[in-house]
Amino acid sequence: DIQMTQSPSSLSASVGDRVTITCRASQSISTHLNWYQQKPGKAPKLLISSASSLQSGVPSRFSGSGSGTDFTLTINSPQPEDCATYYCQQFISTPTFGQGTKLEI
């Protein structure tokens, strides 16, 4: 299985900051990479698919980039409601997830 490694495991940011979460795949996955947001006690929510496609209804402060093995989720000027754990997931083969990044605002 393809291993997905996220960094950092947790971070703290302030409103107005720029937050960057990285995800690295153990082998090339082209752009077969999704990002999910999970708030405490809730199911995950799809934010970005295929590395950079923002899902309908997701605020434009979220963006994704990357291809091959290295990917980035960026949150410009995070808001208090963005407190959550973020997961990357590859779907070029048997789906696997990163270990998650917990964001505190």
Nearer CB in complex with other proteins: 11/17:
11
Nearer CB in complex with other proteins: 78/98:
98
Q: How far is the CB of 14 from other proteins (least distance, A)?
A: 26
Q: How far is the CB of 33 from other proteins (least distance, A)?
A: 10
Nearer CB in complex with other proteins: 14/104:
104
- Which residue in the block uniquely carries the two structure tokens 């937050």? 19
Q: Which of 54, 41, 40 is nearest to 84 (CA)?
A: 40
Q: Give CA torsion, residues 29, 17, 102, 104, to 10 deg.
A: -170
Q: How far is the CB of 101 from other proteins (least distance, A)?
A: 10
Nearer CB in complex with other proteins: 17/59:
59
- Strands 62-67 and 53-54 come out as unpaired
The footprint of other proteins (CB under 8 A) covers 32, 34, 36, 42-46, 49-50, 87, 89, 91, 94-100
Q: How many CB atoms lie within 10 A of CB 46?
A: 13
| Phi, psi for residue 81 in degrees, rounded to 5 | -70, -5
Q: How far is the CB of 73 from other proteins (least distance, A)?
A: 15
